[in-house]
Chains A and B, each alone.
Chain A
Amino acid sequence: MASDKSDLLQGTLDMLVLKILALAPAHGYGIAQRIQQISGEVLQVQQGSLYPALHRLEKRGWLKADWHESETGREAKFYSLTRLGRKQLDAETANWDRLAAAVELIMRTAE
């Protein structure tokens, strides 16, 4: 794996998935692609942990899933955000902002 790519911070995968799906419904492959693209190829999604995460979020009721035809013409499982999921995303975003600000502050001050 190239050194300019970073693994996802523990616990952030869920948030990123929710964020991506807030834009548009997508299947697993699409979500992985989009995370990579949007992060400018910096974030590499561990594909092996993406799917369990999706299923976990679906089970919690934050995502719902439908099977329909994908861009290649094959049936794929598309995930989309539920209302509960949207609320969760808001909460996680706020949390993230606080955390990021705090980390930022420490990094700057401690210099």
Chain B
Amino acid sequence: MKRRERQIQSEIAYHLDRVTQNYIAQGVDPAEARRRALLEFGGATQVTEDLRDVHRSRWLADLRQDLAYAARNLRRSPGFLASAVLTLALGIGANTAIFSLIDALMLRPLPVVHDPGALVQLVRVIPGHCADCRLSYPLYEYFRDRLTSVANVFAVLDIAHSITVDGVDEEVNGDEVSGAFYAAMGVAPAAGRLLGPQDDAVPTPVAVISYDFWRRRFGCDPSAIGKTFSYATTVLTIVGVEPEGFTGIEPWRTRQFTTPLSMSDQLGGGDGSWKKQWDMNNVESMARLKPGVSMTQAKAEMEAVFGAWRTDKVRLITEGPLYRARFLQERGAVLPGLSGLNGLRVEFLRPLTILMGIVGLVLLLACANLSGLLLARAAARQREISIRRALGAGSGRLTRQFLTESLLLAAGGAAVGFGAAQWFVRVLLTMMANGDALALQAAPDWRIFGFTAAVSVLVCVLAGLAPGLSAARVTINPALKRVRAAGGHPRMGRVLVVVQLAISMTLLVGASLFIRTLQKLYHVDTGIRTGDVFLFSVSSKHHFAGARTTEIELALVDRLHSLPGVVFATAANVVPLSGGLWSRQVQPEGYTFHAGEDDSAAFNAVAPEFFGVTGTPLLLGRDFNRHDNADSPPVAIVNQRFAREFFGGRPPLGRHIVSAKTTYEIVGVVKDAKYEGLRQGVPRTVYVPWTHQDDAAGKNRSQPMGFSYMARVAGGDPLRLAPLMARAVPEIEPAMRMYYAHTLEFSIDRTTLNERMMATLGGFFGLLALIVACLGIFGILAFQVSRRINEIGVRVALGATRGNIVTLVLREVVLLLLPGCAVGAVAAAWLARFAGSLLYGVTPTDPMAFALAIGALAMATLAAGFLPAMRAARVDPMTALRCD
């Protein structure tokens, strides 16, 4: 291009020089000669531009022409333009939104971090249970000392607590990190220093704060270094500030500071024993691949190292054979750490993948719909097209014309859709946050722009190709004659409607499967009355001694009980149906476990009136009372299943259970109730009095912070108790605050996030699909009716009744509906298998779901067909026959 430009310049210069020389030779003075030469030439700039034009590609010039033509054309039918752009915006917007989430969760590298692609997460995998299980501290050390393919192995514990800075309290999130954390991240401090290996060796009460926290609380003042804040009973000194934009390894979580992991026990009131327990899995661990080491190599080494660990530790297992078998299934794994920890990714991978499939179908549907509209327009423009053909427009050029039109529409759809996607992403993120804060960065980046662009091009081709090809086939002669001929390509139009119906059918089946899942889930008999229950937890600045603990706990329950409208008040270690489970081995009196039999039972430590709050009837014996305390003989209440399986028909009361070296006497039996969640079955359950509850290690008396306090109210909004308790808690103990005040229903809803999300979004897209399919049916029928007006006129003239005519038109709907439903049903049956684990109580081929989808589709499309049918029925035979 550069070279051609130079050549053009020198060619013109040569010409001008020669003309000038010529005039000079004739005796004209040089300046005047030059002037005349330029004048004669007609403006060197204009000619240069003309020459450039000659070399510009033909297709570019054509494209400009096509674009102008298409724009003119579209401006002339604003209704079509609006509906086409909206349909496409819907398809493109939904795809962009879901892709934005996938991008944010899985593709976006950790900001600020050096070479995030080399980061990996070290996890345990328990098949069927978790793909990214945490590690025990000893296992982290084992990996750190043995893995050679990675460097800078570090461990992290996330903490949340209230701190006091300059006399002001604030709830904060933090990370306790081991020494290699910042080295692995490869970041430099914005001020002061970061934590390093020296902080591992000697526990020092120091903290590094985040840049945002530095700005918010200290106005980016360097003198913040050296300041202190109090965390529980410890005073931490700020030694440094993280670089701006650094998010740690969980970008979705807003965090304010890090402290050395070596400070963990001092901050949390532990005794350090957890760091020696090989099976106390509570830390996250990441590392950096050494240069030149591939992921495959790292994985292979991990297999071997974890294998050695397993062989080493399996000997230490004292629990039963089931526990041992489960441990032997454990594997070590290396996961990519580009976007930080994999927790959210693992949680949302399946729903997001399915949603991506759903919105992909929505996009296809939008394309088929637009294609149908374009086809109808092409039919209406036949005369114009054949004139252009007669004037010599090539069929390639005509096809391109249509593609240009759909390109313009796709661009419009992309612009509107991109805007809509931003809104949609916010809605989805609120949904996914599930009542918490989710600071996930989903602002558009180049990948999202690229994705949207690619989708738009796909739309353009898919939607524009059919009408373009059909235009290219227009024959000149018949169309030029003013005949209301066969018109357009009805076959292609019908195929497109069948495609739309099939896609709608698929989406509707999906929607009804997800909605029925949610329905079944919420109608399952849990044995618990979930309504009218208020619950809350407390946080505290410090721990309490044994006697004070009991005093506070009793005061909390008493105060809760005294609030207006409260019928029962209690406390429990685990809130039922909220995803928590505490399970221990048991030895029921007189029962012998056979080899391989599960010897565990679900435990819960509860206060008196627990069964009143949950609405679970006590069948035999008595509830706990205030006399069941730490000094009285240990007692327990079991559920029916426990009694049935371990004692058969014999009376359970008075029998004993041994667990964790304590012998409990059974004093009551309650009706079966679910425990962990709606999806899980009823476990064998043992309830013990809360005053007997020990911590996991069985050493420390648990703290008031370890319980959830629950109350059943007589009616009205249970949350009205929240402000009352918020005031009451600090009155009982000034170091304590109420937090997580919710209803039991809300707590259960949090466990059904994926199901609710799929039902809501599946239903939403299913409804949209239905609307789009109706529009498609309406369009094609209206078109056909107008085409068959003569024929209908003849029929009416020959004595057809209105009913006959309506039936005639609606028969068309049925003819389209049958193949549409059939294809859609097959596709849905095949696709629904992928949703398997997200379903509950329905099989992927649930006949009810398919029947619902067919019913909805049939009713909606027949309704859509009714309007054109009525129009056909009102045809006046005289007018119809006179018309051409």
From 26 to 58 in chain B, residues with beta carbon under 8 angstroms from any chain A beta carbon are: 40-43, 46-47, 50-51, 53-55
In Å, the complex CA distance between A27 and B11 comes to 9
Known: A27-B14, A47-B15, A75-B10. A52 touches B50 (CB 8 A): yes
Q: Assess whether A74 is interfacial by the CB under 8 Å rule.
A: yes
Q: How many residues of A contact B (CB 8 A)?
A: 20
**Which of A46, A52, A74 has a CB less than 8 Å from the CB of B53?**
A52
**Which of A48, A55, A74, A77 has a CB less than 8 Å from the CB of B41?**
A48
Q: Assess whether B871 is interfacial by the CB under 8 Å rule.
A: no
Q: Which of B14, B40, B53 has the most CB of A within 10 A?
A: B14
**Which of B12, B21, B50, B54 has a CB less than 8 Å from the CB of A59?**
B54
Q: Assess whether A29 is interfacial by the CB under 8 Å rule.
A: yes
From 44 to 102 in chain B, residues with beta carbon under 8 angstroms from any chain A beta carbon are: 46-47, 50-51, 53-55
Q: Are A47 and B42 in contact (CB under 8 A)?
A: yes
Q: Are A55 and B55 in contact (CB under 8 A)?
A: yes
Instruction: List B contacts of A25 (CB < 8 A).
Output: none
Q: Are A28 and B11 in contact (CB under 8 A)?
A: yes
By beta carbon, the residue of chain A nearest B48 is A51
Q: Are A77 and B47 in contact (CB under 8 A)?
A: no
Q: Are B54 and A77 in contact (CB under 8 A)?
A: no
A70 CB, nearest partner CB in chain B, Å: 8
Q: Are B54 and A52 in contact (CB under 8 A)?
A: yes
Q: Are A29 and B12 in contact (CB under 8 A)?
A: no
Known: A46-B42, A48-B46. A55 touches B54 (CB 8 A): yes
Instruction: List A contacts of B53 (CB < 8 A).
Output: 52
By beta carbon, the residue of chain B nearest A28 is B15
B96 CB, nearest partner CB in chain A, Å: 42
By beta carbon, the residue of chain B nearest A1 is B40
In Å, the complex CA distance between A32 and B14 comes to 13
In Å, the complex CA distance between A77 and B8 comes to 9
Instruction: List B contacts of A46 (CB < 8 A).
Output: 42
B35 CB, nearest partner CB in chain A, Å: 15
Q: Assess whether A16 is interfacial by the CB under 8 Å rule.
A: no
By beta carbon, the residue of chain B nearest A44 is B40
By beta carbon, the residue of chain A nearest B37 is A47
By beta carbon, the residue of chain B nearest A30 is B18
Q: Assess whether B680 is interfacial by the CB under 8 Å rule.
A: no
A14 CB, nearest partner CB in chain B, Å: 13
Q: Are A77 and B50 in contact (CB under 8 A)?
A: no
B2 CB, nearest partner CB in chain A, Å: 16
Instruction: List B contacts of A74 (CB < 8 A).
Output: 14, 17
B753 CB, nearest partner CB in chain A, Å: 64
Q: Are B42 and A29 in contact (CB under 8 A)?
A: no
Q: Assess whether B7 is interfacial by the CB under 8 Å rule.
A: yes
Q: Assess whether A56 is interfacial by the CB under 8 Å rule.
A: yes
Q: Assess whether A20 is interfacial by the CB under 8 Å rule.
A: no
Q: Assess whether A43 is interfacial by the CB under 8 Å rule.
A: no
Q: Assess whether A22 is interfacial by the CB under 8 Å rule.
A: no
Q: Assess whether A72 is interfacial by the CB under 8 Å rule.
A: yes
Q: Are A52 and B47 in contact (CB under 8 A)?
A: yes
Q: Which of B21, B40, B53 has the most CB of A within 10 A?
A: B40
Q: Assess whether B19 is interfacial by the CB under 8 Å rule.
A: yes
Q: Assess whether A15 is interfacial by the CB under 8 Å rule.
A: no
Q: Are A48 and B43 in contact (CB under 8 A)?
A: yes
From 1 to 53 in chain A, residues with beta carbon under 8 angstroms from any chain B beta carbon are: 27-29, 32, 46-49, 51-52
Contact with B along A57-99 (1 / 0, CB 8 A): 0010000000100101011110000000000000000000000
In Å, the complex CA distance between A103 and B384 comes to 35
Q: Are B19 and A29 in contact (CB under 8 A)?
A: yes
Known: A47-B41, A48-B41, A77-B11. A55 touches B18 (CB 8 A): no
B59 CB, nearest partner CB in chain A, Å: 14
In Å, the complex CA distance between A48 and B21 comes to 19
In Å, the complex CA distance between A28 and B10 comes to 12
Q: Are A77 and B43 in contact (CB under 8 A)?
A: no
In Å, the complex CA distance between A55 and B51 comes to 7
In Å, the complex CA distance between A12 and B609 comes to 107
In Å, the complex CA distance between A74 and B20 comes to 15
In Å, the complex CA distance between A77 and B9 comes to 11
From 475 to 495 in chain B, residues with beta carbon under 8 angstroms from any chain A beta carbon are: none
By beta carbon, the residue of chain A nearest B7 is A77
In Å, the complex CA distance between A67 and B40 comes to 24
B154 CB, nearest partner CB in chain A, Å: 65
By beta carbon, the residue of chain B nearest A56 is B54
B822 CB, nearest partner CB in chain A, Å: 56
In Å, the complex CA distance between A48 and B48 comes to 9
Instruction: List B contacts of A72 (CB < 8 A).
Output: 18, 21
B34 CB, nearest partner CB in chain A, Å: 15
**Which of A29, A48, A49, A59 has a CB less than 8 Å from the CB of B14?**
A29
Known: A46-B42, A75-B10. A51 touches B51 (CB 8 A): yes
In Å, the complex CA distance between A59 and B17 comes to 26
**Which of A49, A51, A70, A75 has a CB less than 8 Å from the CB of B12?**
A51
Instruction: List A contacts of B19 (CB < 8 A).
Output: 29, 47
By beta carbon, the residue of chain A nearest B53 is A52
Q: Are B7 and A51 in contact (CB under 8 A)?
A: no
A56 CB, nearest partner CB in chain B, Å: 5
In Å, the complex CA distance between A52 and B53 comes to 9
In Å, the complex CA distance between A54 and B562 comes to 101
In Å, the complex CA distance between A57 and B50 comes to 14
B9 CB, nearest partner CB in chain A, Å: 11
Q: Which of B19, B21, B50, B55 has the most CB of A within 10 A?
A: B50
A57 CB, nearest partner CB in chain B, Å: 10
Instruction: List A contacts of B51 (CB < 8 A).
Output: 51-52, 55
A76 CB, nearest partner CB in chain B, Å: 5
Instruction: List A contacts of B14 (CB < 8 A).
Output: 27-29, 70, 74-77
In Å, the complex CA distance between A75 and B41 comes to 20
In Å, the complex CA distance between A27 and B43 comes to 19
Q: Are A48 and B50 in contact (CB under 8 A)?
A: yes
B440 CB, nearest partner CB in chain A, Å: 55
In Å, the complex CA distance between A72 and B21 comes to 11
In Å, the complex CA distance between A2 and B33 comes to 19
Instruction: List B contacts of A75 (CB < 8 A).
Output: 10, 14
In Å, the complex CA distance between A52 and B51 comes to 5
B158 CB, nearest partner CB in chain A, Å: 68
Instruction: List A contacts of B18 (CB < 8 A).
Output: 29, 72
Q: List 6 additional contacts besides A27-B11, A56-B54; criterion CB under 8 Å.
A: A48-B50, A51-B11, A51-B50, A55-B55, A74-B17, A77-B7
Can you list 15 A-B contacts with CB-CB less than 8 angstroms, sorted by A residue number? A27-B15, A28-B14, A29-B19, A48-B42, A48-B43, A48-B46, A48-B47, A48-B50, A49-B50, A55-B54, A59-B54, A74-B17, A75-B14, A77-B10, A77-B14
